[in-house]
Structure 1
Amino acid sequence: MHHPVGTEIEATAKWLEEHAAPGAATVLRRVARQRDQARAQLSAYRRTTANRYRLAWHSARQRAREANATAERLAQVANGMQELLGEDVRRLMALNEEHTRTNAMLRTDMARLQVLAERAGWVPDSEARRMWRWREGWWELAYRKKNSKDGYHDSGWYLWGPAESYFGEWVAQLKVPAMTEADRLITKHLAAVAEAKR
């Protein structure tokens, strides 16, 4: 019969109990159990140390298998969704192509309109003594009477432009020279902007 703490130790512990020393028998058994546990831990550590590379390889292979399985599951789900939504997706793609084509045509028409607007020069507004012109943004040329409170120090034509350009700058007193000077100022401003972009 095999005893967990060993035959000799158990026999010694029984002898101690028979001779009125049960405490010593308990200590002897406890020390023997601790010794067996320490041996088991040491042998497990040696096995783990010897096999750690093999264990790491097995662990990496297991993680790779799990990642591949997840990727395959996701691919199957995506294929299933594509089959379910295939017709809707095709319709949406055709609609998207139609919108892209329409947007391209609108951009082309807008560019043509801008070129025509630039060629048209100064176009009179419905309001008297006011004109508009397109040159990479809308420019306004309007006549104002002298009024220091509003910032008009002289009577004449004033130029307003898009953001970060001329804002209420006096150009000339008469209409024709004002148009000529405004065109010169706009050209100068656009050249400076183009130079700054380079």
Structure 2
Amino acid sequence: MHNPVGTEIEATAQWLEQHAADGAAIVLRRVARQRAQANERLTATVTRLRRYRMAWRSARRRARARTAEATRLTRQLNELHAQWHGRGEPSNSPTPDDARERALMRIDLARFQNLVERAGWMPDAEPRRLWRWRNGWWELAYRKRNPKDGYHDSGWYLWGPTESYFGAWVAPLKADATIEADRLITKDLAAVAEEQR
């Protein structure tokens, strides 16, 4: 039969009771129970922390894979931009093959821009700095409070591609900042689309 305080502790407590030391037996059992409970709590905490560490490693691995994919897509997008802009002015009499090649290049460029946009916020090599493609590059960076430079609060600031948002404070925390920045970008793009109508 399993004893909650252990067989040796129980045997010692019974010996103490047989020799008229009931108080010592009670204290011995209580200390043994407290030690067993502390060990259970410690084991549960270690198990929980190990589970969190494994989840963190898995999330970090997924983030690295996503960043590598976004970097590859950005590199391809930059190569396409370089090819597109490096061709020079089109000749006065473009051939059908040239027109077809330009159309295919525009399609590839649109596909890559769409993939980069879906990648979401991509980390920069510099810490606390994120980039996002939404009809142009948007930057989200953390700045400490410095009123001389225009940063009146510590937190995340958003810069837009057409300076529609030039260092606008978004939020103090990164998760909140990315959500709010996405909302501001969507709002800005909708306003630009409305103006063009």
Q: TM-score, structure 1 length as denominator?
A: 0.51
In the aligned structure 1, how far is the partner of 2:114 from the partner of 2:187?
A: 19
Quote how far apart the aligned CAs of 1:118 are.
Answer: 1.2
**How far does residue 96 in structure 1 lie from its aligned partner after superposition?**
2.5
1:39-78 residue pairs with structure 2 within 5 A?
none
Tell me what 1:107 maps to. Answer: 106
CA root-mean-square deviation: 1.9
Larger of the two Rg values belongs to structure: 1
The CA deviation at 1:98 is 2.4
Which residue matches 2:142? Answer: 143
Distance 1:109 1:152 in 2: 39
Percent identity over the alignment?
A: 67
Give the SS at the match of 2:167. Answer: strand
1:186 aligned onto 2:180: no
**Other-structure match for 1:119:** 118
**SS of residue in 2 equivalent to 1:101:** helix
Q: Could you say which residue in structure 2 is the equivalent of 1:163? A: 162
Query: What are the superposed Cα offsets for residues 138-179 of structure 1, whole Å, 9 maximum, x if unpaired?
Result: 100001111111111111100000215111000001100000
- Alignment-mate amino acid for residue 118 of structure 2: R
* Cα distance change, pair 156–93 in 1 and its aligned pair in 2 (3 A): closer
Q: Which runs of 5+ in 1 are unaligned?
A: 1-91
Displacement of 1:181 in angstroms is 0.3
CA deviation string 1:76-122 (max 9, x = no partner): xxxxxxxxxxxxxxxx9997322222211110010001111111111
- TM-score, normalising length from structure 2? 0.51
Does residue 96 of structure 2 align to residue 97 of structure 1?
yes
Q: Higher relative contact order at CA 8 Å, sep ≥6: structure 1 or structure 2?
A: 2
Higher helix share: 1
Q: How many pairs align? A: 107
